């Protein structure tokens, strides 16, 4: 779990991160967006630490 | 017949037997909505003209000796993310107001209309279905009909509240992480999130395509089964629709749970909630004679993966608007969508791979169990505006936590039915019944037994 300081630091990086993907986050929203993003990155951390094995594929909807 | 408390079966029976006309029911329903909806704020549009025209058409079929369908003259309303011909599909937003009106009804709306039901309007929701509260900044909060100071839940809050308030006997909603089940539990009604792919989503605005489901709300198991039976079936217009023969639930409704293997979910499903919700599960288990408990592995990862996929797919759908007009979003959803745009692609793919792994674990569970019993929500409906709460392990954000028991099942598309536990002098609670894919019939058999025993009910306040 990110602490308050880390979330604030993440908010500070949102401008640069947004520039990379063409998404400008209004300064008024940044702190709140950073809280949600911190939660998502925690979730990503939890999942990417889980060994799944190469045989496990996503379930695509795509049908040729 | 008291029309506000009358169920779909009762209304359809009366119309078919010519004891009342569908037109009279439509007129009374529209009048009731005009009188009572301002206090609860469920409806964003009332389709009075269409309702009258459809009702007269049903009456003409009855008069000519034809079959008007099993839902003859039954009023229903839909979450405003379903296309309704002639209405703009708002999906809870103001951005969508600029879009043209829908040229055709959504598949689920057509299915109910084909069965004789009469559409009376569109219902409030969280913007783009991202939320569990229906505290919509643009259209106002939908209030819980059982206590107006409390939230209706979401994102299908208008659907649950309209049924609970007696404005309509049937409504349609959508469920991505719990958006049918959470508001149904808070408002004290029955609702079903069917198996993924069982009911067509064609013509419904998507939120996170991997998990989006369509399902009905009602005040009895019989009405719910009647609606579900009209809705289920393959539709080539929905890419995830599964070509599986329909399995009507109504004929099996009174079969009882004998022969079904029932169990209570332990582990995470006994944590992070109010003691009252676990007591409600225990009451249901005791009434059914269930003592078995099973633990589902890695539910924390399932919730994490569901969050990542939801946020990523939601952000992807709305990326253009997030780039160009973020200020026009509801502040309650905007920041979540913006955050979703920054999820690393590798994490999204890992979440989708985990979904396959977790589905296989749940298949193992459901080889041993037919119906699993869990709480639907961690608490009764919170007060409107409540932001944080302590469930015993420190204060947490309440809103995302409201789906703590529903997310792990929509994540892998399992059917789940929530039954309402009335509590005199207090807000109702929901108990969730979950089954293997396409085993909705098992859910109805258990739910109906609980209803017949008087343990679960959805009285109009």
pLDDT tens track for B409-419: 999 999 999 99
Residue A42 pLDDT exceeds 70: yes
The closest alpha carbon to B159, from B134, B135, B139, belongs to B134
Is B349's Cβ below 8 Å from some Cβ in A? yes
Give the separation between CA B68 and CA B57, rounded to whole angstroms: 9
Q: Which residues contact B99 (CB under 8 A, 6 or more apart)?
A: B88, B89
How many helices (H) does chain B have, and how many strands (E)? 15, 17
Four-way CATH pick for B8-305+332-452: 3.30.1370.60, 3.40.710.10, 3.90.1300.10, 3.40.50.300: 3.90.1300.10
pLDDT tens track for B217-257: 999 999 999 999 999 999 999 999 999 999 999 999 999 99
Q: Which residues contact B166 (CB under 8 A, 6 or more apart)?
A: B4, B5, B32, B36, B145, B460, B461
Q: Angle at the Cα of B292 (from B287 to B296), degrees rounded to 5?
A: 120
Q: Which of B339, B344, B356 sits opposite A57 (nearest CB)?
A: B356
Contact at CB, B342 and A37, closer than 8 angstroms? yes
Cα R_g (chain A), whole angstroms: 16
State whether the Cα torsion A42-A47-A51-A57 is positive or negative.
negative
Give the separation between CA B141 and CA B134, rounded to whole angstroms: 6
What is the structure's pLDDT at B4? 79
Residues in chain B with CB shorter than 8 Å from the CB of A14 are 342
What is the structure's pLDDT at A64? 60
Residues in chain B with CB shorter than 8 Å from the CB of A46 are 300-301, 304
Contact at CB, A47 and B301, closer than 8 angstroms? yes
Min Cα distance B82 → chain A (Å) is 22
Residue A1 pLDDT exceeds 90: no
User: What average pLDDT does range B183-195 have in this prediction?
Assistant: 99
Give the separation between CA B142 and CA B163, rounded to whole angstroms: 13
Give the separation between CA B117 and CA B70, rounded to whole angstroms: 8
What is the structure's pLDDT at B3? 78
DSSP letters, B299-349, are HHHHHHHHHHHHHHHHHHHTHHHHHH-GGGS-HHHHHHHHHHTTS-HHHHH
Residue A55 pLDDT exceeds 70: yes
Contact at CB, A56 and B327, closer than 8 angstroms? no
Q: Which of A13, A46, A64 best tests the B interface by mutation, with the highest count of B CBs <10 A?
A: A46
Contact at CB, B326 and A21, closer than 8 angstroms? no
The answer to whether the beta carbons of residues B55 and B23 sit under 8 Å apart is yes
Is B307's Cβ below 8 Å from some Cβ in A? yes
* Count of CA atoms in the C-beta half-sphere (13 A) of A63: 7
pLDDT tens track for A21-33: 999 999 999 999 9
- Mean pLDDT, chain B, rounded, equals 97
pLDDT tens track for B22-61: 999 999 999 999 999 999 999 999 999 999 999 999 999 9
Structural domain boundaries in chain B: 8-305+332-452
The answer to whether the beta carbons of residues B395 and B389 sit under 8 Å apart is yes
Contact at CB, B305 and A47, closer than 8 angstroms? yes
The residue of chain A nearest to residue B333, with distances taken between CA atoms, is A33
What's the pLDDT band for B369 if we cut at 50, 70, 90?
very high
| Alpha helix segments (H runs only) across chain A | 4-20, 27-48
Q: Angle at the Cα of B421 (from B415 to B425), degrees rounded to 5?
A: 150
Is A57's Cβ below 8 Å from some Cβ in B? yes
What's the pLDDT band for A60 if we cut at 50, 70, 90?
low
Tokens 């009604």: give the residue: B189
Q: Which residues contact A54 (CB under 8 A, 6 or more apart)?
A: none
Residue A12 pLDDT exceeds 80: yes
Give the separation between CA B368 and CA B359, rounded to whole angstroms: 15
Min Cα distance A17 → chain B (Å) is 8
User: What average pLDDT does range B195-206 have in this prediction?
Assistant: 97
* Count of CA atoms in the C-beta half-sphere (13 A) of B400: 17
Structure token pair of residue B85 = 């011909």
CA A52 to mean position of chain CA atoms = 21
The answer to whether the beta carbons of residues B206 and B310 sit under 8 Å apart is no
What is the structure's pLDDT at B448? 98
User: What average pLDDT does range B396-409 have in this prediction?
Assistant: 96
The strand pair at B293-294 and B262-265 is best described as parallel
The closest alpha carbon to B34, from B45, B25, B23, B49, belongs to B45
User: What average pLDDT does range B205-213 have in this prediction?
Assistant: 96
What is the structure's pLDDT at A63? 62
Residues in chain A with CB shorter than 8 Å from the CB of B212 are none
Task: Specify the pTM.
Answer: 0.98
Least confident window among A5-9, A46-50, A59-63, B95-99: A59-63
Contact at CB, B353 and A57, closer than 8 angstroms? yes
Query: Catalytic amino acids of B?
Result: 79, 155, 179
Residue A62 pLDDT exceeds 70: no
- Mean pLDDT, chain A, rounded, equals 92
What is the structure's pLDDT at A2? 86
User: What average pLDDT does range B62-90 have in this prediction?
Assistant: 98
Structure token pair of residue B434 = 């979950």
User: What average pLDDT does range B265-291 have in this prediction?
Assistant: 98
What is the structure's pLDDT at A61? 66
Q: Which of B319, B350, B356 sits opposite A47 (nearest CB)?
A: B350
What's the pLDDT band for B391 if we cut at 50, 70, 90?
very high
The answer to whether the beta carbons of residues A40 and B340 sit under 8 Å apart is yes
């Amino acid at each position: 779990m990110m602490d308050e300081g880390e979330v604030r630091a993440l908010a500070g990086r949102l401008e640069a991160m947004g520039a990379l993907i063409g998404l400008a986050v209004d300064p008024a929203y940044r702190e709140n967006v950073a809280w949600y993003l911190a939660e998502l990155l925690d979730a990503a951390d939890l999942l990417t630490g889980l060994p799944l094995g190469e045989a496990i594929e996503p379930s695509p909807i795509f049908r040729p | 017949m008291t029309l506000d408390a009358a169920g779909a079966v009762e209304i359809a029976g009366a119309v078919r037997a010519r004891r009342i006309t569908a037109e009279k029911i439509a007129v009374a329903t529209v009048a009731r909505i005009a009188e009572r909806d301002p206090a609860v704020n469920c409806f964003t549009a009332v389709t009075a003209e269409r309702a009258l025209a459809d009702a007269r058409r049903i009456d003409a079929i009855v008069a000519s000796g034809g079959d008007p369908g099993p839902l003859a003259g039954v009023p229903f309303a839909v979450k405003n993310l379903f296309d309704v011909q002639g209405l703009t599909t708002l999906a809870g937003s103001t951005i969508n107001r600029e879009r043209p009106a829908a040229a055709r009804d959504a598949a689920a709306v057509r299915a109910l209309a084909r069965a004789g039901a009469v559409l009376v309007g569109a219902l409030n929701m969280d913007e783009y279905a991202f939320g569990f509260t229906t505290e919509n900044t643009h259209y106002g909060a939908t209030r819980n009909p059982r206590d107006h100071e409390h939230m209706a839940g979401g994102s299908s809050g208008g659907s649950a509240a309209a049924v609970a308030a007696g404005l309509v006997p049937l409504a349609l909603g959508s469920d991505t992480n719990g958006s049918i089940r959470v508001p149904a539990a808070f408002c004290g009604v029955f609702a079903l999130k069917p198996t993924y792919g069982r009911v067509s989503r064609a013509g419904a605005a998507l939120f996170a395509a991997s998990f989006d489901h369509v399902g009905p709300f009602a005040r009895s198991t019989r009405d719910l089964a009647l609606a579900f039976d009209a809705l289920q079936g393959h539709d080539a217009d929905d890419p995830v629709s599964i070509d599986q023969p329909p399995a009507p639930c109504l004929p099996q409704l009174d079969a009882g749970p004998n022969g079904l293997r029932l169990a209570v979910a332990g582990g995470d499903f006994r944590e992070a909630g109010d003691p009252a919700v676990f007591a409600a599960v225990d009451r249901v288990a005791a009434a059914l004679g269930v003592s078995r408990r099973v633990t589902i592995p890695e539910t924390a990862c399932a919730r994490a993966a569901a969050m990542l996929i939801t946020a990523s797919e939601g952000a992807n759908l709305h990326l253009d608007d997030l780039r160009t007009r973020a200020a026009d979003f509801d502040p309650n959803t905007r920041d979540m969508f913006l955050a979703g745009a920054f999820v690393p692609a590798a994490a999204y793919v890992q979440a989708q791979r985990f979904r396959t792994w977790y589905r296989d674990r749940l298949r193992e569970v459901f080889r041993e169990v037919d119906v699993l019993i869990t709480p639907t929500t961690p608490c009764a409906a919170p007060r409107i505006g409540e932001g944080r709460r302590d469930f015993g392990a420190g204060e947490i954000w309440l809103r995302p936590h409201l789906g703590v028991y529903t997310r792990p099942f929509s994540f892998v598309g399992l059917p789940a039915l929530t039954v309402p536990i009335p509590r005199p002098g207090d807000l109702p609670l929901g108990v969730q019944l979950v089954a293997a894919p396409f085993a909705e019939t098992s859910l109805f058999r258990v739910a109906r037994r609980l209803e017949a025993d008087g343990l679960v009910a959805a009285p109009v306040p």
